[in-house]
Structure 1
Amino acid sequence: MSAFTELAGLSAKVDRVVHMPRLEAPPDRPHPFVYFITIRNNSPSTVTIKGRKWVVTDSDGQRVVVEGDGVVGEFPRLEPGEHFSYNSYHTIGSDSVAEGAYFGVTTDGEPVFTRIPRFEMRVPVRSV
C-alpha cells in the first residue's frame, strides 16, 4: 500500500470532552473522559474510514498509543458533504493530552488521513 496523504477537506473536530467518573476504569487509570468527535468530508472524494491512531500523553510524559480498525466498530463511508459523529472514551491516571489521526481510502483507492486535533483531559481537583 502506498503512503497516506492528508486529504484537503477531510477533517475531524473534537466537539466536547467530559470527565465521567462513573464509567468503568482500571485502578492505574481511574479517570475516564468521554470525547465527542465529528469527522467531516468536505472533499470532492468519497472516503471510507478504515482505522485510527491515538497518542495519549500524561503529565509525566508517558505515552500510550492506541491503534485499531474502524471507528467505534464501524467503517463510516462519507460521501462529499457528509459527516460522522460519535463518542468514545479514554481512561487516564493524571492530566493528559490526546491527539491522533483517522486513516481511510477514497473510492479511487487512494490512502488518506486527517488529523485528530489535540485536546486536554484535566483530572478535577477533589475538595475535602
Structure 2
Amino acid sequence: MSILDSIFPYAATTEGITVRVQPTFLAEHSRPDQGLWVWHYHVRIENGGTMDVRLLDRHWIIIDGRGVREDVEGPGVVGEQPLIAPGSAHDYVSGCPLSTPSGTMEGSFGMIDGAGRRFRVAIPLFDLVSPHSRRAGH
C-alpha cells in the first residue's frame, strides 16, 4: 500500500487518469439537531498518461441515507478547469451537506486531451459517514 492509498482510501483509474478521494465529516459545521450533516472531500486527479488533459466538467451522484438521489452537474471544479500535465496532479477540496447522517457520492469528470479527444473519467463511489450514522440506523 502506498502513502497515497492510506491518505486517499477511494480511487479509480480511467484511461490513465486516477481520481482519489478522501472524505472527512465536519462536526463543527454540522447541526444534527436541525437535520444537517456536512462533509468536505479532498479530490486528487493524477495524469498518468502521455498528453495534457483539461478537466471540463463534473457530474456528481449524491445519495443520502434514505436513498434520495441528487445529480449535480456543472463546468469545472470549484470554479476551475485545470490543465493537468503528464505525471502531475490537481488537488481541490469541496463540501457536501446532507439531511441524513450518512450517504454516498460518486460520479465522473469530463476531460479533453491534447489531441482534442473528449472522454469521461470515473470518480469512485465513496462513503459519507458521521458518528451519528449507527445511532440513526444508517
TM-score (norm 2): 0.78
Which residue is equivalent to 2:41?
35
Indicate the percent of aligned positions where both proteins have the same amino acid.
Answer: 26
Consecutive unaligned residues of structure 1, counting only runs of 5 or more, are: 1-5
1:109 maps to a residue whose letter is: G
Q: Let me know the Cα RMSD of the aligned residues.
A: 2.3
Asked which structure has the greater RCO (Cα within 8 Å, sep 6+), the reply is: 1
Q: 1:69 aligns with which of 62, 71, 75?
A: 75
Q: How far, CA to CA, are the matches of 1:97 and 1:24 in structure 2?
A: 17
Of residues 44, 51, 57, the one that matches 1:51 is 57
Structure (1 or 2) with the greater helix fraction: 2
Residue of structure 2 equivalent to 1:97: 104
Indicate yes or no: 2:91 matched with 1:80: no
SS at 2:50 equivalent:
coil
Give 1:78 shift: 0.7
Q: Which residue of 2 aligns with 1:13?
A: 20
Shift of 1:116: 0.6
Tell me the secondary structure at the aligned position of residue 101 of structure 1.
strand
- 2:118 aligned partner: 111
Change (3 A) 1:35 1:55: same
The aligned length equals 120
Structure 1 residue 79: Cα displacement: 1.1
| CA deviations over 1:25-83 (Å, ceiling 9, x no partner) | 8x976111000110000011210001101001122211011111011111110111110
State the TM-score, normalized to the length of structure 1: 0.84
